[in-house]
Amino acid sequence: MATLAGGIVNAILDPLFIFGFNWNVEGAAAASVVARFAVFYFSFVPLVKVHQLLSRPSFDSVRRDTKVMLAIAIPAIITNTATPIGNAIVTTAIAQYGEDFVAGFAVIGRITPVCFAFIFALSGAVGPIIGQNFGAAK
């Protein structure tokens, strides 16, 4: 519902800001910002009012949970930063040959996910499939 609310807000405000106020691209950006606040509002209010999921954390619970969270977060952070860091290194190496080579590398970077979409999707689906079969003892 929150995502739908954000989409509705964006759909209403985009034409108003772009054409009505004649803000052009800035209007689209402003509408998107307002839509993000709508998504936040429609996500946060039910957590607080309906489910009472907001409370002040205690120091002991934070200390106790930090080790478990970092055991998951640190590998995820490294995984998510490896590709951009690698691309920065390769782009720096390619840049010495000129702008045309950097542009070509950028095009290849956009085409690669399309060409390998099946393999990328398969790697994301293998974990749940294995987990389901392991849980079913198959």
Q: Whole-prediction pTM value?
A: 0.49
Q: Is 6 in contact with 39 (CB distance < 8 Å)? A: yes
Choose among 88, 122, 126: nearest CA to 106: 88
For residue 12, is pLDDT > 90? Answer: yes
Average pLDDT over the chain reads 93
For residue 138, is pLDDT > 90? Answer: no
For residue 123, is pLDDT > 90? Answer: no
pLDDT at residue number 54: 87
Instruction: Dump pLDDT digits (tens) for 50-88.
Output: 988 888 889 999 999 999 999 999 999 999 999 999 999
**pLDDT bracket for residue 127 (50, 70, 90):** confident
- Domain residue extents for the chain: 2-50, 59-135
Choose among 125, 124, 131: nearest CA to 79: 124
For residue 41, is pLDDT > 90? Answer: yes
For residue 103, is pLDDT > 90? Answer: yes
